[in-house]
C-alpha cells in the first residue's frame, strides 16, 4: 500500500458495522489492500457492537493511524 503521509485524502471510504467480528477483518483488509496513486482514508462507524468488533477496529486503528478513523457509538 502506498501511503501519502502529508496529503489530504482524495477519497473517503465509509464502512458502517454492527456485530461483524467474523467479517470486519476481511472487509478492512480488502479496502486497505487496494493500491492507489492518491491519498485515501477509511472511516468506520461501529454502532455499539457487543461482540469483538470494537477490539478488532481498535487494533486496525493502531495499525493504520493515518488512514483509518473509527467512530464508536455507545448506544445502538
The model carries a pTM of 0.86
**If pLDDT is split at 50, 70 and 90, which confidence band does 5 have?**
low
Q: Given the C-alpha cell 472487509, which residue does it identify? A: 27
1 pLDDT above the threshold of 80: no
Q: What is the pLDDT of residue 7?
A: 78
Residues making up the chain, counted from first to last: 76
pLDDT at 3: 54
Condensed to tens digits (0 to 9), the pLDDT of residues 19-72 reads 999 999 999 999 999 999 999 999 999 999 999 999 999 999 999 999 999 999
Amino acid at each position: 500500500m502506498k501511503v501519502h503521509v502529508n496529503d489530504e485524502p482524495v477519497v473517503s471510504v465509509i464502512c458502517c458495522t454492527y456485530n461483524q467480528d467474523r467479517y470486519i477483518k476481511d472487509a478492512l483488509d480488502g479496502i486497505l489492500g487496494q493500491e492507489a496513486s492518491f491519498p485515501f482514508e477509511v472511516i468506520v462507524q461501529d454502532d455499539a457492537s457487543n461482540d469483538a468488533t470494537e477490539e478488532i477496529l481498535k487494533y486496525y486503528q493502531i495499525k493504520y493511524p493515518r488512514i483509518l478513523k473509527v467512530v464508536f457509538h455507545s448506544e445502538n
